[in-house]
Structures are given as C-alpha cells and as structure tokens.
Structure 1
Amino acid sequence: MMISAWTTEQLDRIDTADELRIAVRREDGSPRRPLPIWVVRAGGTVYVRTWRRRETGWFGGALRTRRARISVPGVETDVAVEDVGAGPAELRADVDASYRAKYGRYGRSTLDSMVSDAAAASTLRLVPEPRVQCPGGEPEVVPGSGGATPGRSGPTARPWAGWRPR
C-alpha cells in the first residue's frame, strides 16, 4: 500500500514547531544546508512561504528541483515541493489565517510581510514523498525517492548526517 499523506502525529509536531528546517535538494539529489523557515498547517496540508518570490536561495532551489528534506522535533522526512503561488482565494485565506494564528506574536510589521501579496505568490505545499507500507513492518521509502524511512531513528533517519557545507 502506498502512503503519501501526513500522519496526525506529523501534522501536530509540524504545527507546534516554531520553525521547520528545510534542506532543498540540488539537481544531483544531494541536500543543501538546512535552513530554518516558518511553516504552517492549513487543514491536513503543510505550507511554507518566503517574504517574496525569487529564483535564488532556498526558494529558487525548491522551484528547480521540487524536492527537499524537512525536519522539526520528532519529524524528519523527504518531501515533494509543489508551487501553489497565491492559489485560489479560499486557499490563500486559509494559509494567511494559519500564519496570523501561529506567528501573530511577532507583531504586525513582521507578520504583514508573510501575508502580503508578494509572500502569498511564493506559497509552496510540502507533500511527504510516497513510501510503501510493508506487511507487518515499518514503511519504506519508495526506491529513488532519495530518503530514509520517516519516523525511523538512528543513522538511516539522517542520510546527510556528518555532511557539511562546502
């Protein structure tokens, strides 16, 4: 059986984390340096944004490869990155509301930059990469997805352990 949705536990951990660490994959599949970014949950879906859409940095890399590895305490997994932009009005309203609810404590000037038209145009949906549920066992990452089994601890849970930026 293929599994590609977030579990309730993963969503709860992502929702309670102040920041998510994202390591965008390069074209050769190797991860870039993980960077902390704000993350929100709208329903059963995970979204990230940058304050303005651009073709450089982590955001530009995510647009090019559409793959990343993310982590928050208790969750580390590979994801597909989907560019949704501002999306339909209802989606934008839901994501904006999630940013306001989660990060409103940072003050209006900071929060306004993340719910602006420019930021909304940079909205990315993060979808866990499909994995196969083995009969009676732990899920395994689909071959070629470039990652470790989500939820597994130890060295196989961090394929870039020991990796340092050049």
Structure 2
Amino acid sequence: MSTWTNDQLATIERVDEIEIAARRTDGTLNKPRVIWAVRDGDDVYIRSVNGSSAAWYRATRGRHEGHLQAPGVDADVTFTDVGAAVKDRVDAAYRDKYRRYAASIVDSINSPGAAETTMRVVPR
C-alpha cells in the first residue's frame, strides 16, 4: 500500500472539490463525480452526502478501487471502509474545512446516513 505525498495531502486539504471515479469489474472507470474530501493526519476520507443510495458510492462497492483527481493529484486509489472509531474526527474535519458553507450543508455531510458511507482513500 502506498502513502500520500505531503504535496498531495496539502492539495487535498486546500481544494474544496475532488473527482472520484470507481473502477468497474471490467477494469474501466466510471464517470468521475465531484465530491468533498477531508484530510486527517496522513489519511484522506470521503463520504456520500446522499448516503448509500448515491450511484457513485454504490459503484465503489464492487472492487473498492478507483481514481482520485484534483489539481496536481492524479492517483489510482483503494476505498477502505472505516468504522465508527474515526467518525468524530472525520465529522470535525468536514466542519473545519467547509465551515464557510451554510451549516445545513455541512450538517448534511455529517448526517448519520452520510457518515455510514465514510471511506479512507489510499493511493495504490
């Protein structure tokens, strides 16, 4: 398993939006989706604001592999499901990073339905 570089982590921490594309079972990538991502230490986390019903999230369930793109970041990744142990830290990271947005928007990414879709994104 690889790790993010300091530059990649800094970019993901700085930009509001990244693109995620899940890898299909045939190895091709789905259409990229723009989502929010947060950094916690040397880890990157994503979650689906629409919970487990979101098409992009459901697509990650097959191979748990995909691609992440942001300015200066272009990486094949693995999506790792995480347990409740990181929920509070990830919630706090979303609140901190996106605090300039309306509270209702940030609350939606921290809702129980969104939180259950939290994944750590690991470069491959």
Deviations 1:47-94 (A, max 9, x none): 000124325511001112100111100010100011115x21xx1111
**What is the identity, as a one-letter code, of the residue corresponding to 1:122?**
T
Q: List aligned pairs for 1:52-67, cutoff 5 A.
A: 52-54=50-52, 57-67=55-65
Closer, same or farther: CA 55–115 of 1 in aligned 2, 3 Å: closer
Equivalent in the alignment of 1:110: 105
Taking only aligned residues, the RMSD between alpha carbons, in angstroms, comes to: 1.3
Deviations 1:93-123 (A, max 9, x none): 1101110011111111111011111111110
Distance 2:37 2:16 in 1: 8
Q: Give the TM-score normalised by structure 2.
A: 0.94
Percent identical pairs in the alignment equals: 41
Equivalent pairs, count: 124
Q: Which runs of 5+ in 1 are unaligned?
A: 130-166
Equivalent in the alignment of 1:92: 87
Q: If you compute each CA radius of gyration, which structure gives the higher value, 1 or 2?
A: 1
Deviations 1:2-61 (A, max 9, x none): x61111111001111110101111111101111100000011100000124325511001
Instruction: Pick the aligned partner of 1:9 from 7, 10, 32.
Output: 7
Equivalent in the alignment of 1:34: 32
**Greater relative contact order (CA < 8 Å, ≥ 6 in sequence):** 2
Distance 1:26 1:41 in 2: 26
Equivalent in the alignment of 2:19: 21
Distance 1:53 1:98 in 2: 18
The ranges of structure 1 where at least 4 consecutive aligned residues each deviate by more than 6 angstroms after the TM superposition are: none
Contact 1:68 1:80 in 2 (8 A): yes
